[in-house]
Structure 1
Amino acid sequence: MSVNLLKGLYCGLTKPFPCAYLPEKNEQLLVVTQSPMDAERYEMLLSMGFRRNGSDVYRPYCHQCQACESVRVDVEQFMPGRRQRRVLKKNTDLTVRIEHQFQPHHFDLYCRYINARHHDGGMFPPSESQLTHFAKASWLPMTLICLYKGKRLLACAITDETPVAYSALYTFFDPDEDKRSLGTLGVLTQLEAAKSRGKKWLYLGYQIDACQKMNYKTQYLPFERYCDGAWQRFTEGAS
């Protein structure tokens, strides 16, 4: 099946396969098959609920299920809640560095993270080639927002940059540093970096209400959800 969503943009529909987030369901993906892709085009697709995996750009297209809804945070309007302020306060000893290439210590941390936190998931067993294939797009420079304690890498947020947005692709962190709440800190650090770069949005991927591990995305206010082809704004939620 081929779908023409916009001028010069064609998509194909995958066959159904088991959903990674709702085990009782199957999913299908709408995948961009023909389009000259660059940061500007990708930004337009982000605003239509798309994401990427490597160089492939996709969005869920499930006839019987609309559970996956893209979420984006208003960078300029975001104000950290009480818990988020506590996370920032207890991590003032960390240093933020913006990097653009994977090094051996990035791969080491990634493997430790997957082995400790996601040994039952689709990214297990972890490998350098797997991370590289997932993180890099041929048409977009890679940005790594990294958190260091001295010379030791504690967290790495793979982040896409487009003209008016950041898109959080994947974050991995030291599984032995639970008290630091590094997952939350990763999002907060991306929001700070996006604001410093004058971005309007931070895209956080898909919110799935029935999947507990995805529900953190609505803790960053105000945010918008892409529902029925339009963005809906939310100013209240867990924080």
Structure 2
Amino acid sequence: MHSLHDLQAAFARAVLEQDPSGIDWTVCGDDRQDRLAVYIGNTHHNLREALRAVYPVVDRLVGEPFFDYAANRYIRDHPSQSGDIQRFGDSFPAFLDHFPPVASLSYLADTATLEWLVHEVFHAADHAPLPLSELSSLASAKCSTLRFRLHPACRLLASPFPVLRIWQVNQPGSQSDESIDASAGGDRLLVQRAGFAVNIQALAAGEFAMLQALREGQTVDDAYELALRQAPAFALGEFIERRILDSTIVGFAL
């Protein structure tokens, strides 16, 4: 006799793989196939639409029929691991990066990564700005022992492709017919939420290196050294002031 867990696992596999062969039909009613078809149809439709909502640019680039095909493969190979549908699709860029039918679209995975970061930043936790009362201790701190904390609703992305422009001209409802040269150069981007809007900033090499090092927990001195390698004239004081004012930097530890 099968346990409830075994029955639930078999049912989940049948829905995700669209294959009912593993189900013990003796515990089901006469209309079992019709009911299973409803579950399969609803589950795949809802998960496909969840992916489409997060990845509208990818959908536009490959077309709706192919997006549905890729989404169905992704749903089968990477079933949701959370009850929160907003978390579904985090590995879709990596899936596309290894999906043979889109191998010729070398920019597609990075474009999808940008879309996921926009989605992730929109739903990320909020954080108060750096309190003014802490700025006096910041002014007297030694940079060699200082570690900045970045806002939880910001992400960084470096790509060898012009993904920001690809993302911009392929927004839903866009009438642009601009052709983007994928080999025209890459982007270094800061994806950040301001209020209820997500902003994407193109960064110079020095500032990107600085922010990336700070996000990894490196000290200001070490991060500054990395920034100087990319931009010998990098202005540390100006960078710190600007990023505190726009709440990219929201805290620090000595």
Aligning the two structures, in what range does the TM-score lie when normalised by the shorter sequence?
Answer: under 0.3
Larger radius of gyration: 2
